[in-house]
Structure 1
Amino acid sequence: MYPELARLADEELIEPASQGIRGRRTYAITQAGRRELRASCQPTGRAPIA
């Protein structure tokens, strides 16, 4: 999970929103991340995989 969070942060799709007392981070999606998410959710016209 942590390598994927780091990749998303490197691509500026998420950003750290806060850090707790134990160093636990909360992430927020960026505007670029929202655009990427919307683009990935567009219908493809293909039948769903069963």
Structure 2
Amino acid sequence: MTAMSDMPPDKPDVKPRESDEVRRRIIEEYAANLRELIRKLRQELKS
């Protein structure tokens, strides 16, 4: 049995900046959608 450190990594730890940008954009979009949903829910609950 070999140790985990002997195995080559599936993918490098260093990721290109583009993937971070894309991930951030997706998270921001998701957060905006959530805020919109919460706002609509609050309006429904008030009325």
TM-score by length of 2: 0.37
Greater gyration radius? 2
RCO comparison, higher one (Cα < 8 Å, 6+): 1
Q: Which structure has more helix as a fraction of its residues?
A: 2
TM-score by length of 1: 0.36
